Amino acid sequence: MSGRAEVWLFIAQRASAFVLAPLVIVHLATMIYAIQGGLSAEEILARTQGSGVWGAIYGLFVLAAAIHAPIGVRSIVREMTPWRGRSLDLAAVLFGVLIVVLGVKAVGALV
């Protein structure tokens, strides 16, 4: 992989991390708040359905995670297993796509 591409991956991972940070805080906060006194499907859906804000938040979350996680996993695999090269890069991309697909479905259902 060229030097430039490697730097772009680094930028993408750090930028997505930067985006994820506030989203995770929001997510953690609502989770801690939401489970007070147990929770049901209705309650969750009542909060999220029809809300553009929640849709945007979780949409962005999924997107950022889909960029962030595969890059991280790729470097873990490269360092800790003998797997490297094109096939690994492709697998990482597929992993990202998987997150997007699952994420879009989940967010779609919630909103």
Partner 1 sequence: MTTETVSEQEFEVEIWRGRDSGEFVTYRVPQRESQTILDVVSHVQRRLDPTLSYRFACRVGMCGSCAMTVNGVPRWTCRTHVDLVAKDGHIRIEPLRNLPVIRDLAVDMVPFFDKWERATGQFVPSDAGNRQTFARVPPESRERQEADAGIECIGCAVCYSACDVVAWNADYLGPAALNRVWTLVNDTRDGGKPEHLAAVAGDAGCHQCHSHQACMTYCPKDINPTAAIAGLKRATVRSVLRGEL
Partner 2 sequence: MKYAVALRNHPTYWAFVLHRVSGLALAVFVPVHLYTLSLAVEEAARFDAFLEWTEAPAVKIGETLLVVLLAGHMVGGLRLLALEFLEWRDWQKSVVAITLGIALVCGLLFLMNAF
Does position 86 bind partner 1 by CB under 8 A? no
Which residue sits closest to ligand HEM, CB atoms considered? 72
Interatomic CA distance for residues 13 and 39, integer angstroms: 34
CA dihedral 88, 8, 3, 73 (to 10 degrees): -30
Interatomic CA distance for residues 87 and 50, integer angstroms: 41
- Of 12, 19, 24, 88, the one binding partner 2 (CB under 8 A) is 24
Grouping H, G, I as helix, E, B as strand and the rest as coil, residue 34 is: helix
Window of 44-52, 61-69, 86-94, 101-109 that interacts with ligand HEM by CB under 6 A: 61-69
Question: Residue-wise over 33-52: b if at least 16 C-beta within 10 A, else e?
Answer: eeeeeeeeeeeeeeebeeee
Does position 24 bind ligand HEM by CB under 6 A? yes
Q: Which residues bind partner 1 (CB under 8 A)?
A: 1-4, 6-11, 75, 78-80
Binding site for partner 2 (CB under 8 A): 14, 17-18, 20-21, 24-25, 27-28, 31-33, 35-36, 38-42, 44-45, 62, 65, 69, 72-73, 76, 95, 98-99, 102-103, 105-106, 108-110
